[in-house]
Amino acid sequence: MKRIAVLASGRGSNFQALIDAIRDGQIPAVCVGLVTDNPAAYAITRAREVGIPVRVVDYTLFPEKGAFESALLAEMKSLDADLFVLAGYMRILGPGIVREFSGRMINIHPALLPSFAGLHAQRQALEYGVKVSGCTVHFVDEGMDTGPIIVQACVPVLDSDDEERLADRILAEEHRCLPLAVRLYCEGRLALIGRRVVLDKAGPGA
């Protein structure tokens, strides 16, 4: 049974999707902790409702980023997790943390990477005029949303869309794709070959 931990900064709807998938037996793992930089995050409520330990590392309490990163790294190490999942974590992790957990940290992004990395991906897609958008689950590397891609899903961009409507449609796919990617990782079915993530169809969870 794998140990996973989640980093989230806000409402935590993707965190909830993971909680539900673990509860339903879809992911062979236990969630050992939520780490957040935001003491007001609703994700904290979601964690406490199901007894998941919460670690708050409040960015505003640190004099500079280096001190914050050191505290965050210490909390992450203390969880002894096999996999860290960034589920709406809104800060860029420093290279020290990324290297420490290389190959053991994944992120969900509301666009079809490599297009529209960074903040406000749905707004970027609408402004560019694309006809298809979606979401991407990828391994975290030292760039911004540049790591090897694990899972992607597409949604149409409609003429009537605004940022909120498109975000809602993408979010429904995020709630499906993130648990899938975590399940594949926990089943040992993901192999990283260069930049390509290859699925082992004959793995133990096939």
Q: What is the mean pLDDT of each run of 10 residues along the chain (206 residues)?
A: 97 98 98 98 98 98 96 98 97 96 98 97 98 98 96 98 98 98 98 93 53
Strand duo 149-156 + 132-139: pairing: antiparallel
Q: How far apart are CA 206 and CA 201, in angstroms?
A: 6
Residues 5, 85: contact at Cβ < 8 Å? yes
Residues 194, 146: contact at Cβ < 8 Å? no
Query: All domains of the chain, ordered by start, with CATH?
Result: 2-199 (3.40.50.170)
Secondary element (H or E) of residue 185? helix 163-186
The one-letter amino acid at 185: Y
Record the pTM.
Answer: 0.94
Just list the catalytic residues. 109
